[in-house]
Amino acid sequence: MSTDNTSKPMLATADAPAENPAAADGSVTAVDPRLLVREQGLSGYLGEFKRKMKAGDLGSIPVVVGLIIIWAIFQSLNSNFLTAGNLSDISVAMVGTGMIAVGIVFVLLLGEIDLSVGSVSGVAGATFAVLNVTHGMSEWLALILAILTGAAAGAIHGYVFAKIGVPAFAVTLAGLLFWNGFMLQILGSNGTINLDSEGLVAKLTSYYFSDVAAGYGLAAVAVAAYFLSSFLDNRRREAVGVPSRPLSEIIVRTVALAVVAFAVAIMFNQYKGLPLAVVIFLVMLVTTDFVLRRTSYGRKIFALGGSVEASRRAGINVVMIRTSVYAISGTFAAIGGLFIASKITSANQGAGSGELLMNAIAAAVIGGTSLFGGRGRTWNALLGVLVIISIQYGLALQGIASPIQYMITGGVLLATVVIDAVTRKTQKTAGRA
């Protein structure tokens, strides 16, 4: 009987020794590199940091460094820039654009674009104003219907794109024009509807928790939640034998977060207190980050951004995911529009126009979300909008005109896109993309 040389070799176990002991003795056991990094302590982390830099895995480092430089420059030009009042005003002013940018992050993760968000945000503000002020509808019901209007607009764009196959650029460009016209139509000939300065929407940006316990309490809850989440996640990883962070690293990260969180709380308490707008924005960021990183729906979005065909073959409902993502974009555009209307306590014909669309897209990209799809987090919207609003407020303190603000913001956006493209190319060279 002949021997079958094509059969699979037996694996060496405690009861069955390897067929070639010499080869087995010279072999090297595969070890997860993350375990080696953590076993080597500080030197291991420094080496891992250098490796990531060479591979183009920059993460949020460029935008954080850029934000620090921007703040340092404006503080050197005007000592009022880093005062509690100015920073608090920046925090509230960024929420409207930041909310829209969160929706843009979802769309960019697919590798697509949504040009309609500015107009949709204007429609939401106008819808609320018409229903509440003109027709006397209750504020809560008008608020809900305004948000649903944005969700419906986004779902229409997503369905036409995903089901019919019209390019997203064309669909949302048409949406930009249509919804802008719709907003002008419902506002009527007057063009401006003033909101109740003491009403629900107005308080979105005007209400502050003046009790110092609110700011410190939120900081403490955030730090505790982060520690418990990281600790429990590590316990689950250890239980199934997956590499996890050591307790010392979790403590260091928690301490760093505590320093930032309580510094922000101190800053708010030195002015009017903790802004309601910032609390809502943070809740939205935490919720959307959880959806993207901890749910199967979020994983499907990332998968689509990586490869549509591979996702389809894996059984992902491409039409449903794309349609729902655009509905999410429209929803956050509507929420952002309500915050913008709250800031000026009115809905007018200029809502959603000007630089709003570009600022929202720029915020998502500057924060670290890739234009090519498949990479980004909703927290990128926070970092990006902080950069943009900081530039605007800093230049305004210097009395610099809007054209220069546009030029500088455009330069920052171009630099970010270049970094993104170079990073992507570097990652492909390193075999990480």
Give the separation between CA 338 and CA 147, rounded to whole angstroms: 9
pTM: 0.85
Average pLDDT of the chain to the nearest whole number: 85
First to last CA, the chain: 50
Between these two residues, 372 and 17, which has the higher pLDDT value?
A: 372
Answer whether residue 56 shows pLDDT above 80. no
pLDDT at site 43:
59
Q: What is the pLDDT of residues 239-280, one digit of tens each?
A: 887 777 788 888 989 999 999 999 999 999 999 999 999 999
Other C-beta atoms within 10 Å of 154: how many? 31
Q: Which residues contact 63 (CB under 8 A, 6 or more apart)?
A: 366, 367, 368, 380, 383, 384, 387, 416
Q: Which two tokens stand for residue 232?
A: 């429990």
Q: Are strands 274-275 and 192-194 parallel, antiparallel or unpaired?
A: unpaired
Give the separation between CA 197 and CA 245, rounded to whole angstroms: 49
Q: Which two tokens stand for residue 212?
A: 């110092």
| Lowest mean pLDDT, pick from 141-150, 164-173, 413-422 | 413-422
Ranked by mean pLDDT, the top range of 2-11, 215-224, 374-383 is 215-224
